[in-house]
């Protein structure tokens, strides 16, 4: 099922996608510079260090969201180039033109997106029936979360060493 779109409509969407991509790239670059220049080493107060870390985490979280949107835009531009743009990745039907205008990098039609959102957090049993998951196994299955937790633990250790250095003059924790 192929959605019929005029060349003018495709050009409008392509221009919007490219403009948004350039904007996001500038934003990500700015956020990464903010993160790089945050300068925890200049801070001496524990509260200042903790506050700076929280701000850095927020900046990085926003940058990750923007990077994900850039990936979605790149995917949409690739589909336009391959003449596969505008079809739902789940059901294969055409995505409504108003939806494409609102979110040019969207990959699911409204029906499939609603279905996806309805069943977030649900699992399918062996008979094909969905049920709500009572236990959370996401940490074990999600490598990105494992890496993030490892990074946070390393930051906590480094901050502890930094605080100890400022208090005792040594980077090692005295017992």
pLDDT digits over 61-75, tens only?
787 888 889 999 999
- Residue 79 confidence class, pLDDT cut points 50, 70, 90: very high
SS3 173: coil
Indicate whether 2 pLDDT > 90.
Answer: no
Give the per-residue pLDDT at 66: 86
Residue 75 gets which letter from DSSP? H
Q: How far is CA 159 from the centre of its chain?
A: 26
pLDDT in tens, 28-63: 888 777 766 665 555 556 666 677 777 777 777 787
pTM for the structure as a whole: 0.58
Which one, of 31, 22, 83, 94, lies nearest residue 57 by Cα? 31
Higher model confidence: residue 113 or residue 47?
Answer: 113
Spatial separation of the C-alpha atoms in residues 57 and 168, rounded to whole Å: 28
Spatial separation of the C-alpha atoms in residues 17 and 21, rounded to whole Å: 6
Which one, of 75, 73, 97, lies nearest residue 86 by Cα? 97
């Amino acid at each position: 099922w192929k959605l019929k779109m005029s060349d003018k409509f495709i050009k409008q969407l392509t221009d919007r996608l490219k403009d948004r991509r350039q904007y996001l790239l500038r934003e990500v670059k700015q956020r990464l510079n903010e993160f790089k220049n945050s300068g925890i080493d200049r801070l001496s107060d524990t509260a200042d260090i903790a506050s700076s870390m929280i701000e850095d985490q927020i900046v990085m979280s926003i940058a990750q969201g923007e990077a994900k949107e850039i990936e979605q835009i790149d995917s949409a531009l690739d589909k336009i180039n391959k003449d596969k743009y505008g079809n739902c990745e789940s059901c294969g039907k055409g995505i409504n033109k108003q939806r494409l205008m609102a979110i040019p990098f969207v990959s699911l039609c409204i029906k499939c997106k609603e279905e996806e959102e309805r069943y977030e957090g649900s699992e399918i049993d062996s008979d094909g029936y969905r049920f709500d998951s009572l236990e959370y196994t996401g940490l074990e299955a999600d490598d990105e979360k494992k890496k993030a937790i490892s990074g946070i633990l390393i930051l906590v250790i480094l901050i502890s060493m930094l605080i100890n250095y400022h208090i005792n003059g040594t980077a090692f924790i005295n017992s």
